[in-house]
Amino acid sequence: MKKIIATATVLAIFGQHLWAFCGFYVSKAAGTLENKTSQVILVRDGNRTVITMYNDFTGNLKDFAMVVPVPVVLQKQDVKVVDNGIFQRLNDYSAPRLVEYYDNNPCAMREEYKYDSNAPMVKSMTTESVGLLAAGAAKRKVTIEAQYTVGEYDILILSAKESNGLKIWLDENGYKIPAGAEEVLDPYIKSNLKFFVVKVNMAEKQKSNNAFLRPLQIRFASPKFMLPIRLGMANANGDQDMLVYAFTKTGRVETTNYRTVNMPTDKNIPLFVQPNFARFYADAFQHTWAKEGKSAAFLEYAWDVSPANYVKCDPCVSNPPDYNDLVQAGVWWIKHDDYENYVNEFDGNKGKVFFTRLHIRYNRSSFPQDLSFQTTPNMEAFQARYIITHPATGSLTCDAGKAYLKDLKERRRKEMKMLALLTGKDVDEWQEDISAVKDEEDNAEAMYATLALAMPKEQEKTGIPAGLIVLGTVLVGGAGVMRWKGMI
């Protein structure tokens, strides 16, 4: 009776504030720089890691500077700049999705098809230039382990003996360290981490034709599989978001020091959510995040994107990553042949690539530790998928039509309950969207607007959660039985 017709992605969730990476920006202009959402590609196999950091810094390039703790000294060949579009493509491919179904008219069977998709976001940047200073390092017990220029970036790899020296060195060279960042410098130095310090080389920048700063990609071998978010917390107000796109040979990536929680998925939500799906998902994410105790990573997508796996998404909201995308992302084990030759379909070891998208919303109090990850052999596919269903159109006066209308009313009530459950907000909040839904006259009695009036208000949960009651009952019951049997 139903048919998948069209899909739309959430692109606008992070809207205007896609700031870059999880290290920290240090600024010459006090207090103007902050990073709110970062995007990172992680590629991991064995001890080898490739990290790509999205850079959508939009301020004055003279002020751009980034500090990222890394486990080893990176040489020039370990660093490169990659195509900016890779992040957009991965985001499009893996974003939470809205799926549309159309009901058939039980009085007159017919089908309809419709496709739509969101236009990708376009960003623009300004260009300006400044060099990088590296002076007085020895005095501050800061060692410049390596120094080179890659693409439009001047890069220094620093190691330091003590945090104060590093802080003073950065200060002396014109970088303002945010107050909160200091507490993590010392543990990082003692953990033998190096500091990957990046500025824009204006001469190189002007030579290149790119209007934007390209993503930086670093590769290294280290048993540490982590992302240093603590340093990035320094200059952020409140919660920050991070999207991690991870590629492995074996299966899903999960956090080891925080829970990894699946987003609610395959839920039927009301039709009126469609024009504001991004808002719906932002609410649903916020609510789920709070409900799960804030201290967790959320799985939004997981799929086997190996060349041999023909179905790389279902439904696909954009093209799955192809050979070039994977190479850009840093998946080093994939070979062009693997990708082009479907003959090898059944050779399980040929170019296996598993994709995981994690969404992490963090703040200082809920995330005392940096993110540690592990790869698992879990190849189970997952997508954050929400379903809207268009009602049947045309006359519904036949008996089957009347029965259908009754079902439709019931279904729409459930959809609105689900909406409230997922977002933690009353259906009333969607008043404008509800009245914007143009139902046909024949559906009048099942109109959302009418049904919404009768919806119970979402109560703030105060009392004991149901689970706890069940748990308590089981325990007391168990104790009772044991008592009865004379065990206790």
> Which residues in this chain contact other proteins in the complex, by CB under 8 A?
183, 186-187, 190-191, 223-225, 250, 254-262, 292-293, 295-296, 365, 368-369, 372, 374, 376-380, 467-468, 470-471, 474-475, 478, 482, 486-488
| CB atoms inside a 10 Å sphere around CB 278 | 20
Of 215 and 351, which has the nearer Cβ to other proteins?
351
Q: How far is the CB of 331 from other proteins (least distance, A)?
A: 20
Of 212 and 382, which has the nearer Cβ to other proteins?
382
Contacts of 192 (CB under 8 A, 6+ apart): 71
Of 244 and 396, which has the nearer Cβ to other proteins?
244
Of 453 and 476, which has the nearer Cβ to other proteins?
476
Q: How far is the CB of 422 from other proteins (least distance, A)?
A: 15
Of 209 and 365, which has the nearer Cβ to other proteins?
365
Of 117 and 191, which has the nearer Cβ to other proteins?
191
Q: How far is the CB of 471 from other proteins (least distance, A)?
A: 5
Q: How far is the CB of 388 from other proteins (least distance, A)?
A: 24
Of 44 and 80, which has the nearer Cβ to other proteins?
44
Of 260 and 383, which has the nearer Cβ to other proteins?
260
Q: Residue 61: exposed, middle, or buried by beta-carbon count in 10 A (0-12, 13-18, 19+)?
A: buried
Q: How far is the CB of 187 from other proteins (least distance, A)?
A: 4
Q: How far is the CB of 202 from other proteins (least distance, A)?
A: 37
Q: How far is the CB of 222 from other proteins (least distance, A)?
A: 8
Q: How far is the CB of 225 from other proteins (least distance, A)?
A: 7
Is the omega angle on the peptide bond into residue 315 within 30 degrees of 0, that is, cis? Answer: yes
